[in-house]
Structure 1
Amino acid sequence: MGILILIILQSIVFGLYTAYRLYQAFFTKYKKLPVIISLLLVFSSFLIVRILVKYCHINVPHNIVFATHIILAVTNYLFMYLIITDIVRIIFKIIHKPFITHKLQLIIVLSATFITVLYGYINSHDTKTAEYNITLNKHLNGELKIAAVSDLHIGADMSPARLEKEVNNINKYNPDIIFIAGDIIDNNIKDFTYAHIDALKKLYAPLGVYAVIGNHDYYSADAATLKSLIEKTNIKVLLDNVTYIQEKGIYIIGRDSLRHTNDNGSKRQNIVSLYNNIEDKSKPVIILDHVPKGLDDGRKINADIQISGHTHDEQTFPLNLIIKILTFLPHGMINDNGFYYFVSSGLGLWGPPVRVGTDSEILIINVKGKDL
């Protein structure tokens, strides 16, 4: 609920400021209040539709939902460019220098916004591959090629056609095993269609495809429903449990979402209790955990690899630069004395269907044991 309140406040502040500045530039011959209210409703359409879908259970057509996502991107960048140019306007006023008219300023801002959003949309669909070569401190039966993705966010932007394209991108690397680190569905389980199921069924790896559930998955349904639906794709969902891959001699710990309380009111199991289910503790351990919360869990159990997502690498400029300063690892890999900790920027998108300063990505991790 706290996040929802923040989004509402952001929508009001961004929307009101942007609406007022647009009124100043283009609509002064009309009555101020109706124009500003109309523009505010447009700029807040993403939030309005989210509330209608989630809390009023109203089915909103896919095209309208997608349009509101675009409007959100436009609103954010309009606001940013307006703030920048208004600061310049204030500076010019302080030093008693003339500045461009409000109308010309808004034309420049609108043009910059259009270019940014168009670039961001194209870039978000240009999936990159981040490839890593790592060597474990433990024995591994042969070599292991992992393909990993996170944050598919099946919904307005992740169409069946795009999902199938990404599945083909993953399969072309011929991975031994595939991991999906949560947020398969955006926020509405009805968006997860048979066409999406058919596309995900085409994921292939000889050692299997494994997934964990993320916070957005839980926005759409409970754990049992999610597990049942996702496993129709032949993906094995790990929900606070452990599985053993005998061919390679590795254990996989799949964690429940950090931001979820189970149906019975209890929180997810701690990492040590899950680790205690492992019989041979000399074997390599891979943790799948949607929300990256640091190195502590891996250190507690002497894990070898963790794969997480959730951050989207903050998806858009300038948030991505701010988060890089304020957070531990919003994206990338850290080698902590043989514990390889990965955070993926994600395959899909939340909210604005744009990526500026970040990329949609597939992780390819080539793993060797200490004796190879």
Structure 2
Amino acid sequence: MNKAKKLLNKYKNQSKKIKIIIFVIIIFAILFSLYMFKTSRALRVRYIDLEFEDLPKSFDNIKVALASDIHSGLYIPTSHIQKMSDMITENNPDIILFIGDYIYSAPRWFKYHNKKNIHRLIEGIKNLEAPLGKYAVLGNHDNYESKIDVSNAMHSNNFKMLDNNIIFITNDIGEYISIGGVGDFMTDDVKFDLATKNVKTNDFNILLSHEPAAPLAIAKKEGYNELIDFFVCGHTHGMQISLVPMPLIERLNKNRDYPLTTIYGNMQSGKTKIYVSSGVGVVLLPFRLFAYPEIVIATLKNKK
């Protein structure tokens, strides 16, 4: 009997320990999830200064705001988009560049498009202004859901869509810069010939591409990187849930002539400076880890 009682007590003690362990794991999972959710809403402004030999002197110190992957919808409310817009406005940019993926109604395989997310997007960005204009390209999620709805939403907010297109901005003394954009690599054609049309090697050109890796490789292979001074991308979310902090990811490319990885950050390919944004919103899960959402304020300087 004593032996049986000891076994019973041992079983009870082990069962109690297991319950305590399970309870601790559940509490940790809840707290960790709350932390990742809070991180997903902790929108930051990153400031960078970049020098370019081709930038005309009259455009020296021009301020450019960059934002990508807003993903209005499933997890991102209008208030988060308005917060982004307020942070951009506070910095008084000369140009605003959006780099695709403006909506997110559901994971792609559901093939679901909620038009309310378009209205959330419009409401969130309606007060954005920039003296030299607002420019954008589409991302894969925009094309998955409704290219027409998203394009119309951007047009209604006076954004010029630059998918496989280019625009030249000329100032009062006749100096100019150009901004081109290519279609999303996953869902559209990537036409660098159209995005760099009439650009000379000593002109200053900004290139918008939602997806970084493949278009960057195409530009290098086909020689278009000789015409591109600043290559701006998004799409990656900085991995969104990463095991490595973004500054460490960025350091992998420090002093390299061509990026080792195009997950996040400030990097270079020959004479072309590159920035891959971690984005504003989220997909699949409303969480981020070591990959804070951001907008970027880039001050472009004449190097001469």
Normalised by the length of structure 2, the TM-score is 0.79
Identity of aligned residues (%): 26
| Distance in 2 between residues matched to 1:270 and 1:105, nearest whole Å | 56
**Superposition deviation, residue 213 in structure 1:** 0.4
Give, in whole Å, the separation in 1 of the partners of 2:296 and 2:15: 48
Tell me if structure 2 keeps the 8 A contact 1:251–1:278: no
> Matched residue of 1:147: which SS?
strand
The equivalent of 1:142 in structure 2 is 59
How many pairs align? 265
Please say if 1:207 is aligned against 2:132.
yes
How far the C-alpha of 1:282 sits from its partner, in A, is 2.4
Question: In angstroms, what is the RMSD of aligned CA positions?
Answer: 2.6
Residue of structure 2 equivalent to 1:334: 267
Report the CA distance shift for 1:219/1:269 in structure 2 as closer, same or farther (over 3 A).
Answer: closer
Give, as a single letter, the amino acid of the residue that structure 1 aligns with 2:76: M
Q: Does structure 1 conserve the Cα–Cα contact (< 8 Å) formed by 2:53 and 2:303?
A: yes
Matching residue within 146, 165, 185 for 1:241: 165
Counterpart position of 1:120 = 36
Is 1:344 equivalent to 2:277 in the alignment?
Answer: yes
In the aligned structure 1, how far is the partner of 2:88 from the partner of 2:123?
15
Give the whole-Å Cα distance in 2 for the aligned partners of 1:344 and 1:163.
16
- Residue matched to 2:217: 296
Residues 343 and 158 from structure 1, CA distance in 2 versus in 1: closer, same or farther, beyond 3 angstroms?
same
Shift of 1:332: 0.5
More strand by share: 2
Q: Could you tell me how far apart the structure 2 residues matched to 1:153 and 1:244 are?
A: 29
Going from structure 1 to structure 2, the CA distance change for 1:136 and 1:298 (only over 3 Å counts) comes to farther
> Is 1:252 paired with 2:169?
no
Kept after mapping to 2: 8 A contact 1:253/1:274? yes
CA deviations on 1:44-64 (whole Å, 9 max, x unpaired) are xxxxxxxxxxxxxxxxxxxxx
Per-residue CA deviations over 1:251-272 (Å, capped at 9, x if unaligned) read 11111111014xxxxxx14324
Q: How is 1:179-198 mapped onto 2 (pairs within 5 angstroms)?
A: 179-187=97-105, 188-198=113-123
Q: What residue is the counterpart of 2:241 in the other structure?
A: 316
Quick check: 133-142 or 113-122, which moved more?
Answer: 133-142
Return the letter of the residue paired with 1:253: G
Retained in 1: the 8 A contact 2:118–2:153? no
Closer, same or farther in 2 for the Cα pair 1:99/1:177, shift >3 Å?
A: farther
One-letter amino acid of the counterpart of residue 351, structure 1: L
Q: Tell me, what secondary structure is at the counterpart of 1:192?
A: helix
Give 1:126-165 correspondences, 5 Å limit: 126-140=42-56, 141-143=58-60, 144-165=62-83
Give, in angstroms, the shift of residue 363 of structure 1: 0.8
Cα contact 2:236–2:264 (8 A) shared by 1:
yes
State the alpha-carbon separation in 2 of the partners of residues 279 and 150 from structure 1. 25
1:359 aligns with 292
Identify the residue that residue 191 of structure 2 maps to in structure 1.
Answer: 270
The 1:350/1:250 distance shift into structure 2, 3 A limit, reads same
Change (3 A) 1:161 1:253: same
Q: Deviations over 1:65-95 (max 9, x none)?
A: xxxxxxxxxxxxxxxxxxxxxxxxxxxxxxx
Decide whether aligned partners of structure 1 residues 180 and 273 sit closer, same or farther in structure 2, where only a CA change above 3 A counts. closer
Q: Which moved more, 1:246-255 or 1:141-150?
A: 246-255
Task: Say if 1:149 and 1:100 are closer, same or farther in 2 by CA, change over 3 A.
Answer: farther
1:6-85 paired onto structure 2 within 5 Å:
none
Q: 1:170 and 2:94 equivalent?
A: no
Give the AA of the match of 1:167.
S
Residue identity opposite 1:213 in structure 2? L
- Flag the 1:272–1:237 CA change in 2: closer, same or farther, 3 A: closer
Q: Which runs of 5+ in 2 are unaligned?
A: 1-13, 106-112, 253-259
Cα deviation, residue 364, structure 1? 1.1
Q: Measure, in 1, the Cα distance between the counterparts of 2:16 and 2:262.
A: 42
C-alpha displacement at 1:164, in angstroms? 1.1
